[in-house]
Structure formats: C-alpha cells, structure tokens
Amino acid sequence: MLRDSFSTDVSDGDHRALSRRGFLGGLAAKSLAASSLATGVLTVGVGNRAWGEPKDPEKSAVELITPPAARAIERGLNLLAARQDEEGSFRSGGYSRNVAICGLAGMAFMSSGSTPGRGPHGRNVERCIDFILANTQESGFINIPNASSHGPMYGHGFATLFLAECYGMTKRADIRDKLSKAVHLIVNTQNNEGGWRYQPQRHDADISVTICQIMALRAARNAGLFVPRETIDRCTEYVKRSQNADGGFMYMIQGGQSAFPRSAAGIVALYSAGIYEGQEIKKGLEYVMGFMPQANEFNRESHYFYGHYYAVQAMWQAGGEYWAKWYPAVRDALVARQAEDGSWNDSICMEYGTAMACIILQIPNNFLPIFQR
C-alpha cells in the first residue's frame, strides 16, 4: 500500500515530503497500467475515480480554461493587484486588512504561475507575505485583533496555508520561522473531538473551521515541516463522524442537516488527511454532485464562493466525469457573473469573491502543490 504524505513524520529539517502529485502519479503508473493498455481508458483507482478518464487530466485540464475564462482570470487578478495596499493588505468593505483575504489573494496570484518576486504578480505575492508575517504574533497566531473576520481561526488557517505554499517555493528562513509557529498553534489548539473552531482554544469544533486547519497542516507537511500523525488521525475521525447518512456533512457533530458548502469542505478535509477512497468519499461526492453549478444560482446560494472553492478541489481530485462535468459548469457560471470592473461581488467583500473566483477558475493550471492531484 502506498503512503500518503502524512504517513511518516519527518523532522523540521527534512524537505522530502511526498506530494499529492507524486503519490497519485505513482499509483496510476504502477497499479493501472494493464487496465489502461487494455481499454484505452485510464480508470484511476483512487477514491471514486473509476468513472472513466479518457486522458490524463493534468495534461488536458488546461484546455478547459477557455479564452473567455482566461480573460476573466486576467481581469480579476489585475483588479486584485490594483486594490492591494503597499503593506500588502486589502481594505474595502467590512473585512479590511483581513489576513484570510490576503492569503487567498496571494494564492490567486500564485495559481496563475507567479511566485514570490517572480512573474507578473510576483511583487503582489511578496506584499501578501510581508503583511501576513508582520501580523504573526509570537505565539504563532496570525491575526489582527481589531480587523473584522468571520472567526480568527479561519484567517489563521488560510494565512498558514498561503505561507506554506510560499515556503515550499522559496525556503525563506523568515517564512519558515513564523510558519512553524503557526503550525504549532494549530496542533496545540485541536480540541478533544479532533477539530477546531473560531478561536485558538480547545472548547469546541465545527467542520468549516476544521477544514481550514487540516489543509494548512497538509501544505506545511508537504513543504517539509513536522506534523504529528496523531493530530491528523484525530481530525480524520472527527470529519468522518460529521458525515450524515445522505453523504453530506453536518456543521457540528452534535447533529444537524447537511449543506453543500460544508459537505464539499468535508470531502477535501478527507483528501487533505490522505484519504482518497472509501464510502465516505463516494457518498460525499454523490451528495455534492446534486449541487451542479447553475448560472442563476449565484445570488441565492449562501457561502457560494466558499462552497465552490472546496467543490472544485473535490472534483479535481476525484477526476473522471466528476471533474469533466463540474469544472465547465462552474467556469461558465463564474465567467457570466463577473462584473464589468473585473470583480466578483460577495457579501464579505469584492476582494474575497474575486480571489476565490480566480482560484476556482485556475485549478486546472495545477501550479500550487496543495491542489495537485
């Protein structure tokens, strides 16, 4: 059995963590060569990738970024760049100087191929890094006390994820120092159920905040930082216990109905923990497929960008018809809803909606390790 990137703990000095791409690439090459040769169809045996894939999605996915989508991405990234302050933050709406929005914008820039200091938006990425590092407390908590947020641990999770992706590209010592502290804070604030919630305290947990933390830990582990196996195992059990009989996920394990945004997040939480197959994944994908993007749903769906940020990742990892059906639908819905100035509006703020939309549209680029298959 092949190991996922959490299977063997490494010291902080070992940067040889196995990426998601390496793990899955090895599996496809070794386990399914005979099937592919016999049928001419790649049937990937990870999770529920038995829904036929006619060709390697990592090579063909970029073909799905149509010229209108490419123009929408460019306009969105240019708007984000224009609205970024010199310190690296974004200040519109009630979520001014929010570290989560800064981290997501940085990931949107990097999803286009820019890296810290390089590429059309390399300077914008550096500004995001500088802002987040400047607001990382000695405890490792990435937070601005007076800045508005939906919950400080959301910001901490997204900002930590961004720093981990940047560290994997640069190996900058200043990033590593604060990233390590941010990771330790996540590990040390996991509650006894196995999850996290709004504050860096162990009192309670919900599936929505938990996915932000497990993705950050996955990215940090891929970049070579130590993450305890026990932390991942406890989180995995928490996520599994959060799944309802219909395949969707409840908000807290005390009970509750399923909903699309958190159910998409639940699938990605399992993927981030290294679980790519099983009934939890199968049932989760079937549930989320019932919410196929529609152009006219944009203003009716609560947490639209949050849900589709995770849903597109879930379908990208699942591959096959899941991906082939989902991405064109969400692509066309987003392109149709872009504003004249290049933004995507959201109740949080336009920078949040625009960053999320650009990340979703650019998933086929496969540039960021955390999104790689």
pLDDT digits (tens, 9 = 90+) for 12-55: 444 333 444 343 333 333 332 333 333 333 233 334 443 445 45
pLDDT in tens, 92-105: 777 888 999 999 99
Tell me what pLDDT residue 112 has: 97
Gap between the Cα atoms of 107 and 101, Å rounded: 10
Residues 172 and 179: beta-carbon distance below 8 Å:
no
Residue 216 reports pLDDT greater than 80: yes
* Torsion angle defined by CA atoms of residues 111, 112, 115 and 118, in that order, rounded to the nearest 10 degrees: -170
Per-residue confidence at 114, pLDDT binned at 50, 70, 90? very high
Residue 370 reports pLDDT greater than 90: yes
Query: What predicted TM-score, i.e. pTM, was given to this entire model?
Result: 0.86
Tell me what pLDDT residue 24 has: 34
> Which contacts (CB < 8 Å, 24+ apart) does range 121-124 have?
121/77, 121/81, 124/80, 124/81, 124/84
H or E element in which residue 299 lies: none
* CATH no. for 58-371: 1.50.10.20
H or E element in which residue 63 lies: none
